[in-house]
Amino acid sequence: MKKFPKKKYNNSNLFFKDYSRTKSELIDKLDYDAVSQICDFIEKTIRNKKNIFVCGNGGSASVANHFMCDFNKGIKISSKNKVVPRIISLNLSNELITAIGNDLSFSKIFSHQLENYANFGDCLITLSCSGNSKNIIDAIRIAKKKKIRVISLTGFQSKSHLKTDYQLDIGCKNYGICEDIFQSLMHMISQYIRQKFEIKNL
């Protein structure tokens, strides 16, 4: 597993270059067969008109919300309303998250919502650098109970005790780099699906 930084930097230019180099190397080494399988499954779930739930903590929470935006608007427009994604970010409601966290437990902020919304055939995507956050683990547990498939994107070569249907690990001990790559993967997949509708006569 890569770690960054491994030393102290006094030169910002060098730090930026090494950060970018590390991220580029990790992107090049991604298991693109696994990415393709995840992409195909997401597209199939969208075409079957099932819900796709997505969640994460911290920076990954913002990626979850961005995921909802790019898919729900972008793919719908590109397909001229023929394909209408149903992406639901479990991070979207501060009111609901704080109510669940305060009245029940912070570990329940995602799973409690899944209990209300998820049905057979739906999908859960979790974004977690460690892969072991209690609220992520609990969401996966409820997803399995409700028999919905789970895609987990992790960062630190996590070995969670809860096996998921699709797992892709970045292999880097740096939150920022992992979250950058989560964002890149979201853009890759959404733009791949979009271009299938936008580019004619290939």
Domains and CATH numbers, the chain: 31-197 (3.40.50.10490)
Least confident of 18-22, 80-84, 96-100, 109-113: 80-84
Least confident of 59-63, 64-68, 82-86: 82-86
Burial annotation 102-132 (CB, 10 A radius, 16+ → b, else e)? eeeebbbbbbbbbeeebeeebbbbbbbbebe
Q: Torsions phi, psi of 29, nearest 5?
A: -90, 0
Q: What is the pLDDT of residues 109-145, one digit of tens each?
A: 999 999 999 999 999 999 999 888 999 999 999 999 9
Cα–Cα nearest to 127, from 76, 180, 85: 180
pTM for the structure as a whole: 0.93
Is residue 202's pLDDT more than 50? Answer: no
- Could you give the CA distance from residue 167 to residue 92 in angstroms, rounded to a whole number? 24
Q: What is the pLDDT of residues 136-174, one digit of tens each?
A: 999 999 999 999 999 999 998 765 556 899 999 999 999
- Could you give the CA distance from residue 190 to residue 175 in angstroms, rounded to a whole number? 23
- Contacting residues for 92 by C-beta, under 8 A, at least 6 apart: 65, 68
Q: How is residue 156 written in tokens?
A: 């630190």
How many residues does this entry show for the chain? 202
- Could you give the CA distance from residue 163 to residue 201 in angstroms, rounded to a whole number? 41
- Average pLDDT on 5-33 reads 97
Confidence band, pLDDT 50/70/90 cuts, at residue 79: confident
Is residue 200's pLDDT more than 70? Answer: no
Beta bridge partners of 129: none
- Could you give the CA distance from residue 152 to residue 156 in angstroms, rounded to a whole number? 12
As a whole number, the mean pLDDT across the chain is 93
Is residue 201's pLDDT more than 50? Answer: no
At 160 the pLDDT is 56
